């Protein structure tokens, strides 16, 4: 039994007892309901406001800080700075990182869902870990705000700097600007101030 299967099996009783359409408790479904891996985009009000894009790959969340957040316009290239891998359950984190701690500030789950690796080579599909090692990955995101294909392209000469670019598909829409029009958490429905106030209680 592979690791993911074992975890799903272990969580059967936990799940049977809960209605996740009514409770906000974690489903433990880190692999996603469709079997696809999770992605999350966390809005992070640190010293500089940014959006952390995280994709579950081989048991960790591969992470990029995207200062302007994702665009739905294929003509917009968004800088994405690779940051350290995070644990899978970080995808559930929303709250306040205390002052003096690394990344101090409020974190809001801006979007979340599953993704599909659609990276291809001439010889067929390429694994996510290989695609990221090569500096070019194509993913199809299935979130609540963000949908469809995105390219992650490493910029030459700097291993940490990537571009996040919307693929020109049916989900591309230059008129949408979800970063500004849909600021709230997809989990709590709160904005950054409300999350900060909630923690201060």
Residue (of 193, 173, 189, 159) closest to 71 by Cα position: 173
Q: Looking at residue 35, what DSSP letter applies?
A: S
Residue 111 in contact with Mn ion, rule: CB under 5 A? no
Residue 94 in contact with Mn ion, rule: CB under 5 A? no
Q: What is the 3-state secondary structure (H, E, C) of 116-179?
A: EECCEECCEECCHHHHHHHCEEEEEEECCCCEEEEEEEECCCCCCEEEEEECCCCCCCCCCCHH
Q: How far is CA 137 from CA 114, 117, 155, 163, 167, in A?
A: 16, 8, 12, 11, 12
Shorter beta-carbon distance to Mn ion: residue 53 or 138: 53
- Whole-angstrom distance, CA of residue 147 vs CA of residue 118: 14
Least distance from Mn ion to the Cβ atom of residue 192, Å: 13
Shorter beta-carbon distance to Mn ion: residue 81 or 171: 81
Least distance from Mn ion to the Cβ atom of residue 1, Å: 35
Least distance from Mn ion to the Cβ atom of residue 50, Å: 6
Least distance from Mn ion to the Cβ atom of residue 53, Å: 10
Backbone angles phi, psi at 38, to 5 degrees: -85, 155
Q: Pick the piece of the chain touching Mn ion (CB under 5 A) from 1-9, 44-52, 113-121, 165-173.
A: 44-52
Shorter beta-carbon distance to Mn ion: residue 27 or 83: 83
Residue 44 in contact with Mn ion, rule: CB under 5 A? yes
Least distance from Mn ion to the Cβ atom of residue 80, Å: 12
Residue 52 in contact with Mn ion, rule: CB under 5 A? yes
Q: Could you list the residues that contact Mn ion (CB under 5 A)? A: 44, 52
């Amino acid at each position: 039994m592979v690791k993911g299967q074992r975890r799903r099996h272990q969580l059967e009783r936990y799940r049977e007892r809960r209605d996740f359409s009514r409770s906000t408790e974690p489903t433990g479904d880190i692999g996603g309901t469709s079997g696809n891996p999770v992605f999350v985009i966390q809005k992070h009000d640190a010293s500089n406001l940014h959006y952390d894009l995280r994709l579950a790959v081989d048991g960790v969340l591969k992470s990029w800080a995207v200062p302007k957040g994702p665009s739905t316009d294929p003509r917009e290239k968004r800088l994405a700075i690779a940051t350290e891998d995070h644990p899978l359950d970080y995808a559930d984190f929303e709250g306040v990182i205390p002052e003096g701690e690394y990344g101090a500030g409020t974190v809001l789950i801006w979007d979340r869902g599953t993704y599909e690796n659609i990276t291809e080579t001439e010889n067929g599909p390429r694994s996510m870990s290989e695609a990221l090692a090569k500096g070019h990955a194509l993913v199809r995101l299935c979130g609540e705000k963000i949908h469809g294909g995105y390219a992650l392209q490493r910029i030459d000469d700097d291993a940490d700097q990537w571009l996040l670019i919307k693929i020109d598909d049916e989900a591309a829409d230059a008129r949408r600007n979800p970063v500004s029009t849909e600021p709230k958490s997809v989990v709590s429905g709160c904005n950054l101030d409300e999350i900060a106030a909630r923690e201060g209680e």
